[in-house]
Amino acid sequence: MQIKLWINDKEYVDDISPDTILLDFLRSKGCLSVKRGCETSNCGLCTVLLQGKPILSCSTLAVRANGLKVTTIEGIQDEASEFGGFLADEGAEQCGFCSPGFIMNVIAMKNELKNPTEDEIKNYLEGNLCRCTGYMGQLRAVKKYLEKYSDMKKGA
Amino acid sequence: MRYVNKPVRKKDAMSLVTGKPVYTDDITQGSSLVVKLLRSPHAHALIEEINTERAKKVSGIECVLTYEDVPESRFTTAGQSYPEPSPYDRLILDKRLRCVGDPVAIVAGLDEKSVDKALSLIKVKYNLLEPLLDFRKAKDNEILIHPEDNFVSLVEVGADNKRNLCSSESMNIGNVEEELKKCAHVIEETYHTKANNQTMMETFRTYTSIDAYGRLNVISSTQIPFHVRRILSNALQIPKSQIRVIKPRIGGGFGAKQSVVSELFPAIVTWITKKPAKMIYSRKESFTNGSPRHEAEIKIRLGADENGIIKAIHMYSLWNAGAYGDHGPTTVGLSGHKAMTIYNANAYKFDFDVVYSNTMGAGAYRGYGATQGFFALESAVNELAAKLNMDPTVLRMNNMLTESSVGKTMPTYYNEELKSCTLDKCLKKAKEMISWDEKYPCRDMGNNKVRSVGCAVAMQGSGISSVDVGAVEIRLNDDGFYTLMIGATDMGTGCDTILAQMAADCMDCEYDSIVVHGVDTDLSPYDTGSYASSTTYITGMAVVKACESLKNKIIDAGAKKLGCSVEYADFDGKSVCNIKNNESISLIQLANDNYVGSNNYLSASESHYSPTSPPPFMAGLVEIEVDKLTGKVDIIDYVGVIDCGTVINPNLARVQAEGGIVQAMGMAMYEDIIYDRNGRMLNDSFMQYKIPSRLDVGNIRIDFESSYEPSGPFGAKSIGELVINTPPPAIANAVYNATKVNIRSLPITGEKVMMGMLKNA
Amino acid sequence: MFTIDKYVVAESLEEAYELNKSKRNAIIGGMLWLRMGRKKIRTAIDLSALNLNKIDEDDESFKIGCMCTLRDLETHENLNKSFNNIFHKSLKHIVGVQMRNLATIGGSIYSRFGFSDILTALLSLDSYVELFKGGIIPLNEYVNMPLDNDILMKIIINKDGRKAACNSHRISATDFPVLTCAVANKENEWFVVVGARPMKAKLSTFNLNNNYEKDDIDNAVLKIIDNISFGTNIRGSKEYRQILADALIKRNIDEILNGGYYAD
């Protein structure tokens, strides 16, 4: 069936099988940052934004994105580098395999929550598993990143 | 030192955080055969008939292979130096199936749909055999897992396939029985640790192709590229010279990828069809047929005098190898040798049996057997403290290795000499950090909640003594930058980075002037691989030696240019200077000159092994909250203080520690591979096998009490594995301190705590 | 592997209903469970164009469209305000935000899963389902009806002034619950729901008069636990679940009566 959607603001029209999973569709379009870490919707590695909301691309049919906008980390390289820099400065990217999905959810959180508390941060990011870091370095990076924005707000 | 001991960013960090396509599946896009396995639904069976005719006729199917199509000689998939201590007990495909999920047939085809269809059309007639699922009954059971005549053990490890023994040994130092008789207090208990899955985020995966020279090229997510080359050579019965193995960025390993898991199947497909092939393990396959931690039952007798001075330790480890013996004979050794060594005593006894059963074959998981041993021994030590009514940290201070033990020979550690240790300082600092003295043993928080603290100490090794080899080559390029060629495999841990930090300090150059490279067995110098906590210590020392060697060559070349003798030439990283007249030649010029009309291509290659494996040490203290109405245990705070010698990169070391602690929290509290009565794994997904999320881990704080290890690069020891050893016993201790319930079988679930409290009441 | 031959975005409920009559067709909610199965679906029916993704509020009730996501309920301010935050509390443990942005309330309630946190919470309230053909039915009745081909359009929750509290016991934070519990109170009437036993949530009620004693609560809870069945699975034994039920029910009652200590 035919679908039309925007991946990172670029329009794609394609003829796909209705059971095509969004994750596979995105990888076939060169968005190789999108990773699969499980088959049961539990790991968060495949997180992308659909109309700005974080979702699991492994659990979404590509047709569900018909007419909609999908964002992957390939489409927000500047933001990813900025937050990624904080992550790198903690050594908390480690193997990096969960990083794209994690970073997409951090950016979704920044857009959705105003001045989140530590508990709110942890709750928002609970669906992003990481086996390397033990999460502490990620939390340090997120807090420093958000602090930078709250400083900017205070300054303004 | 400009870079060593500094929190330098990882060399690959920005690529990883911006989602660049650098992993196996990303760099092998384009057409290749999809490889999948038909797996055994039975835990123990013989293939009586297998019909693949209809499967082969499915459109798009390239080949369907069965046991009739593979070499008949056995090998091990354990990534170890040759001759491997793990018995040669495997075939690529075997007529005998020894666990649920054992491969029955390999199918390769153009796409997933046709492969799935072909898999469903293979007809197999199984002769079902009674499975042996309880490893406690395995030794000398009449059901034999490996009755085959071509079972081989290359190394004398006490393997006897006619007794279901993968390995069996005994060690005696002093007279344990005599010492125990004299002891005022003896703790005699049995401890049980479960099989855990490493669950690295990137599952096992391998891409294979034939290159322009007709050789088998293998791109694989592995910790052991050079061992993969040998294992594939053994398995396929082709010369090593015909195989090239490349390791790109890999999404975690934790020991899982210290075995060959996904490599065999696409490799044989490509070797037969000469077409590129790829196999990506599903998460389910990674769970059901990965290479998990060995389940263990450890019996301990621990004797002390009336003052709590430990006199004798006896450990017996019963180890479940499962269907295959990968890493069985070696992991079990660490359960005793690492755990017992940390305590001074007059006598030690350690014996073990590693047994085969019809559960999934186990493998290497961070800690490599020491983790199981420390849960048992540290728990017993905590029970001894309770019996003596003594603070467990005080008991440890009186019995464990400390800074004043340096110079001592460690009898249970192959008589190696202890050259660095600050374990006492680690424990002291950890106690301060968590306010142990105010919090021990527990505080009633009201509302049926109790907060308590618990304690454990641990050690590990740094590489395998007299076995591990790391080779390093460093080249001077034009414009004066260096290429550091290493065979050690960065799996996210950051070894490319820390080795470059060392090289930059050795060469007195900028960190960015050191270029590193992933591993390619055709190009990289030999390295046993990244396991056994060896990279910093072993390969790091090879970096130091190679840099020293290259520096001498630079000085030689510079002296020649300056027309002075070598004794008067000095190299400061930027130029070679004749100290007699201050004439100098810059490194850039020297390097560029070497590339034109010169016989002076400057490169140095050195390798390193160590006759010792200096232990890093750690004290781990935890604060938990127990809900007395439900038994639920919440982790509040975990403090780890570590002696890993000189810390090469504080950020990376800290994250190693935090990550290892969290993995061990999972092991302590819920991670548990469970089989049904037919041997099928019940919790084979992240939905059922839960690993800690960020809501489960409380707060974790890490600090360092660095000793200086004279045999290590810049004084460094290891850190990677050590950090997984303290949480299970520390959490069990805290549970006891809150409830007086001793949990001796992992995981420590709320139900066990609750039922224990009710039993005590 | 699950497959879909054809995908239809239904233009009317009638169309969706007709298509859904065939066993080989299926309505797609969040698709999280369907995807993990091996179902070969001939026509997948998508309800997302039918304006069923809204939470409407009036003086008497909330009406929640079946295509609302769990995250919609979790973050809906008035809904949570009206019922002591139990939507937020009962949903926040479910896997993660990304998953809750996909899972639909219709899919969750239609499936009537044993482990369902949200079914537990809703059963403690004056909740109904609106079916396309079957009309409005109390949720407590719907729970025990067999799965059929009717379309669950809306969940309706009456604002009858109930105070509610919910909690659960989990081995790890985002795991399935070992036990779920919700309690609501309206005047002397108490509604107690225990789920993940591991069987699906069950509603029990009791009355407490104005001059009650602590014993009255203890006896009522004891009676409830005696009258509902518990079972064993890999997450916990029957005996342990009974212990948990006692603790969780009493804590919820305590929270409603005294503000509680465990409002998280």
Tell me the pLDDT tens digit for each residue of B573-584: 999 999 999 999
Partners of B172 in the β-ladder:
B349
- DSSP codes, A33-53: T-----SSS-S-TTEEEETTE
Q: Would you say B83 and B345 are in contact if contact means Cβ atoms under 8 Å apart?
A: no
- Boundary residue ending a domain (A48, A74, A100): A74
Which residues of chain A register pLDDT less than 70? Answer: 151-156
The average pLDDT across B516-536 equals: 95
Burial of B130 (0-12, 13-18, 19+ CB in 10 A): exposed
Does residue A69 sit in the same domain as residue A90? no
Look at strands B482-486 and B470-476 and give their pairing: antiparallel
Is the CB of B695 less than 8 angstroms away from the CB of C1? Answer: no
pLDDT at B601 over 50: yes
Q: What percent of chain B has pLDDT over 70?
A: 100
Burial of B90 (0-12, 13-18, 19+ CB in 10 A): buried
pLDDT class for C260, splitting at 50, 70, 90? low
Determine the CATH number of domain B467-608.
3.30.365.10
Q: The tokens of B540 are what?
A: 């790091």
* Residue of chain C whose Cα is closest to the Cα of B635: C172
When the pLDDT of each residue in chain B is averaged and rounded to a whole number, the result is 97
**What confidence tens digit (pLDDT) does each residue in B69-103 have?**
999 999 999 999 999 999 999 999 999 999 999 99
Structural domain boundaries enclosing A67: 2-74
pLDDT at B695 over 90: yes
pLDDT class for C263, splitting at 50, 70, 90? very low
- SS3 for A64? helix
- Boundary residue ending a domain (A21, A46, A74): A74
Q: Would you say A100 and A33 are in contact if contact means Cβ atoms under 8 Å apart?
A: yes
Domain of C191, CATH number, reads 3.30.390.50
pLDDT at B323 over 90: yes
What per-residue confidence (pLDDT) applies to B1?
86
Q: What percent of chain C has pLDDT over 90?
A: 91
**What confidence tens digit (pLDDT) does each residue in B222-267 have?**
999 999 999 999 999 999 999 999 999 999 999 999 999 999 999 9
Residue B314: which residues within 8 A CB-CB, separation 6 or more? B176, B180, B299, B300, B301, B302, B348, B349, B350
Is the CB of A41 less than 8 angstroms away from the CB of C32? Answer: yes
- Contacting residues of C for A62, CB less than 8 Å apart: none
* Residue of chain B whose Cα is closest to the Cα of A98: B201
- DSSP codes, C188-254: TEEEEEEE-SSSPPEEEEEE--TT--HHHHHHHHHHHHHHS----BTTB-HHHHHHHHHHHHHHHHH
Q: Tell me whether A89 touches chain B (CB under 8 Å).
A: yes
Q: Tell me whether A83 touches chain B (CB under 8 Å).
A: yes
Q: Give the nearest partner residue to B9 out of A88, A103, A131, using CB atoms.
A: A88
Whole-prediction pTM value? Answer: 0.98
Question: How many Cβ contacts (< 8 angstroms) between chains A and B?
Answer: 183
Residue B674's Cβ-side half-sphere holds a number of Cα atoms within 13 Å equal to: 15
**H or E element that contains C73:** helix C70-75
The average pLDDT across B748-753 equals: 98
**What confidence tens digit (pLDDT) does each residue in B447-461 have?**
999 999 999 999 999
What total of structural domains would you count in chain A?
2
How far apart (Å, rounded) are the C-alpha atoms in residues B294 and B289? Answer: 13
* Residue of chain B whose Cα is closest to the Cα of C175: B690
pLDDT at C264 over 70: no
What per-residue confidence (pLDDT) applies to A149?
86
What per-residue confidence (pLDDT) applies to C2?
86
Q: Is the dihedral angle over the CA atoms B115, B117, B118, B124 positive or is it negative?
A: positive
The average pLDDT across B713-735 equals: 98
**What confidence tens digit (pLDDT) does each residue in C21-40 have?**
999 999 999 888 888 888 89
**H or E element that contains B14:** helix B13-17
Q: Give the nearest partner residue to A55 out of C7, C95, C101, using CB atoms.
A: C101
pLDDT class for B34, splitting at 50, 70, 90? very high
Axis crossing angle, helix B370-388 with helix B392-399, rounded to the nearest 10: 110
Q: Give the nearest partner residue to B251 out of A81, A95, A125, using CB atoms.
A: A95
Q: Give the nearest partner residue to A127 out of C7, C41, C97, using CB atoms.
A: C97
What single-letter DSSP state applies at residue B42?
A: S
Structural domain boundaries enclosing C42: 3-46
**Length of chain A in terms of residues written:** 156
- Boundary residue ending a domain (A36, A56, A74): A74
Partners of B459 in the β-ladder:
B617
Does residue C120 sit in the same domain as residue C28? no
Does residue A66 sit in the same domain as residue A107? no
Does residue A43 sit in the same domain as residue A9? yes
**H or E element that contains C71:** helix C70-75
**What confidence tens digit (pLDDT) does each residue in B119-174 have?**
999 999 999 999 999 999 999 999 999 999 999 999 999 999 999 999 999 999 99
What per-residue confidence (pLDDT) applies to B507?
98
pLDDT at C261 over 70: no
Q: The tokens of B614 are what?
A: 């200096």
Does residue C94 sit in the same domain as residue C142? yes
Is the CB of C95 less than 8 angstroms away from the CB of A127? Answer: yes
Q: Which CATH architecture has domain B31-129+201-252+256-288?
A: Alpha-Beta Complex (3.90)
Reported ipTM exceeds the 0.95 cut: yes
What per-residue confidence (pLDDT) applies to A154?
59
pLDDT class for B397, splitting at 50, 70, 90? very high
Q: What are phi and psi of C208, to 5 degrees?
A: -135, 120
Q: Would you say A55 and A72 are in contact if contact means Cβ atoms under 8 Å apart?
A: no
Is the CB of B655 less than 8 angstroms away from the CB of A132? Answer: yes
What per-residue confidence (pLDDT) applies to C34?
85
Residue C133 lies in a domain: yes
pLDDT class for B599, splitting at 50, 70, 90? confident
What per-residue confidence (pLDDT) applies to A151?
67
Report the candidate in B252, B658, C98, B249 with the shortest Cα–Cα distance to residue A45: C98
Determine the CATH number of domain B295-463+612-760.
3.30.365.10
Gap from A120 CA to chain B (nearest CA, Å): 10
What per-residue confidence (pLDDT) applies to C246?
98
Q: Pinpoint the residues of chain B covered by CATH 3.30.365.10.
A: 295-463+612-760, 467-608
Residue C263 lies in a domain: no
Burial of B526 (0-12, 13-18, 19+ CB in 10 A): middle
- DSSP codes, C18-59: HHHTSTT-EEESS-HHHHHS--EEEEEEE-TTSS---EEE-S
- Contacting residues of C for B114, CB less than 8 Å apart: none
